[in-house]
Amino acid sequence: MDLKLFINNEWRPASSGKTFDVDNPATGEIVGTASQGSREDAVAALEAASRAFPAWSRTTGDERSRLLKKAGQIVYDKYEDLGRILTLEQGKPLRDAQREVESAAETLIYYGEEARRIGGEIAPSKSKTSRSLVIRQPIGIVAAISPWNYPVSLMAWKVGPALAAGCTVVAKPPSETPLATGLFVAACAEAGLPPGVVNVVTGPSSVVGEELVANPLSHMIAFTGSTEVGRHLMQSASKGLKKLSLELGGHTAFVVFKDASFDRAVADGAKRSFRNMGQICNAVNRIYVEKSIAERYIERFVQETKKLRIGDGLANPDIDLGPMVNAEGIERTERQIQDALAKGATLLCGGRRPDRPELAKGFFYEPTAVTNVRDDMLVMRQETFGPLVAIATFEGVDEALRLANSTDYGLVTYAYTNDISTMLRFAEGMESGTVAFNSISPDSLYAPYPAWKQSGLGVELGHFGIDEYLRVKHVLIEFKV
């Protein structure tokens, strides 16, 4: 598979003619190439998006709705192929990859529906002879940048609402996993989008990404990725005072109160700590268990973790865990494990690469849990983005809140309890955009997914997601009486 740039509804090679290889993290084999876009290619895509914007921004909500719903159906029809490509380049089990593509299709369809609901309001009149209309208009040209862990669905969270709002888009897929994301965005155009409404430029982030963010032709940067890069983009975008939507890193707490449904809290804790090899912004990093049930919880958690099956996600579509995306992730995880053990933590399970010969060439790592942890350990502060979780104890809601709130991040918190008072006190005291009780599926198409603290600025999903791509205008009309 050889992914080219998609500009003005045409596939074209990079202006330099160069490409880069895309590897399968489960086997180390090259699965395809993508075009190595240059600054000129990024500018060409921004120009195409700028030319398309005036007409696209004036389409009716109904027109955009029809096209987005059709695009969703087209993507849905491709879920098997796109899912297979995603597994090949990212490593996640085939079933998870196909589900990701399906959810991207659902996102397009949902925002197709939201496109018809963009209204305004009539503000109170400041005089007898004036009226104040408040209208909402699309921001303009959006540079959409997604990370490699859920590259297709996170790109859909941007492309869907941006197009629904009447914006045009230049998408930059991650270089680790560019293929399925590039094909996904281009598939949207098959619904009949006019040339330039969606464009895809792959290539080095230091070249293509920087140009898309800094070039005056882009009006908004919709970014999901690390906090470090998010901060940098904020600086680059500040020259143009551009609108930013930033969904960044996390350090997620999972809190188990003593009244929780025990088996569920064990099974969900293990699943959410290690799904996608812990490479999820809302993967569990810290588990806090109420003291009276902690010993039993830890024992059962280790048993549950040991049941997780690791393997090649293409050969075994229903496997629990595929590989990590690259060696860097394994090194980061090992660094945190060594730091914790050196500072006195106890290793409960994992802490090594699996020794099965068939996994030798891939970036596999055993799900790892540590306990007897202290706040000065890296695992308690820094995002791991790998299969490592730390387990500690607490007593009472106040201490649970203090510990769960003790990092700079504020994306998602999970808590297990059946007590409504505990739920309300905990939900209101938690400094994170989402608090999920008795569930490890924290996001919903229909509700906001906001980022707090160093986890970002802005909101994706729900009708809040489309608001990000609109700006308000006050139209004041003086009339004769």
Cα-to-chain-centroid distance, residue 425? 28
Quick one: CA dihedral 100, 101, 104, 110, positive or negative? negative
- DSSP conformation class of 251: -
Is the separation of the CB atoms in 368 and 310 below 8 Å?
A: no
- Closest residue to ligand NAD using C-beta atoms: 209
Is the separation of the CB atoms in 449 and 224 below 8 Å?
A: no
Residue 481 CB, nearest approach to ligand NAD (Å): 53
* Residue number, 56 or 110, with CB nearest to ligand NAD: 110
Asked if 211 is an active-site residue, the reply is no
For 166-249, where are the alpha helices, taking DSSP H only? Answer: 179-189, 210-214, 227-238
- For the record, the structure tokens of 153 come out as 């669905």
Backbone angles phi, psi at 16, to 5 degrees: -80, -10
* Residue number, 174 or 465, with CB nearest to ligand NAD: 174
Asked if 349 is an active-site residue, the reply is no
Q: 246 - beta bridge partners?
A: 223, 457
Which residues would be at the binding site for ligand NAD (CB under 6 A)?
Answer: 145-150, 154, 172, 174-175, 205-206, 209-210, 213, 224-226, 229, 232-233, 247-250, 281, 383, 385, 411, 451, 455-456
**Which among 73, 242, 225 is positioned nearest to 151, based on CA atoms?**
225
Residue 246 CB, nearest approach to ligand NAD (Å): 8
Residue 394 CB, nearest approach to ligand NAD (Å): 25
Residue 443 CB, nearest approach to ligand NAD (Å): 8
- For the record, the structure tokens of 376 come out as 């000065």
**Which among 335, 338, 355 is positioned nearest to 347, based on CA atoms?**
338
Cα-to-chain-centroid distance, residue 265? 24
* Residue number, 98 or 146, with CB nearest to ligand NAD: 146
Q: How far is it, in rounded angstroms, from Cα 24 to Cα 90? A: 7
Q: How far is it, in rounded angstroms, from Cα 393 to Cα 458? A: 32
Which of 247, 366, 383, 468 is labelled catalytic? 247
* Residue number, 326 or 405, with CB nearest to ligand NAD: 326
Residue 313 CB, nearest approach to ligand NAD (Å): 19
Residue 32 CB, nearest approach to ligand NAD (Å): 17
Residue 225 CB, nearest approach to ligand NAD (Å): 3
* Residue number, 209 or 350, with CB nearest to ligand NAD: 209
* Residue number, 78 or 172, with CB nearest to ligand NAD: 172
Q: How far is it, in rounded angstroms, from Cα 285 to Cα 322? A: 19
DSSP assignment of 421-455 equals HHHHHHHHH--SSEEEES-S----TTS-EE-EETT
Q: Which helix (H) or strand (E) holds 292?
A: helix 291-306
Which of 100, 102, 281, 366 is labelled catalytic? 281
Is the separation of the CB atoms in 108 and 156 below 8 Å?
A: yes
Burial class (CB in 10 A: 0-12, 13-18, 19+), 474: exposed
* Residue number, 174 or 313, with CB nearest to ligand NAD: 174
Cα-to-chain-centroid distance, residue 115? 22
- For the record, the structure tokens of 256 come out as 């188990």
* Residue number, 423 or 457, with CB nearest to ligand NAD: 457
- For the record, the structure tokens of 150 come out as 């859920």
Residue 284 CB, nearest approach to ligand NAD (Å): 13
- For the record, the structure tokens of 404 come out as 């769960």
Q: How far is it, in rounded angstroms, from Cα 32 to Cα 29? A: 9
Q: Which residues are identified as catalytic?
A: 247, 281
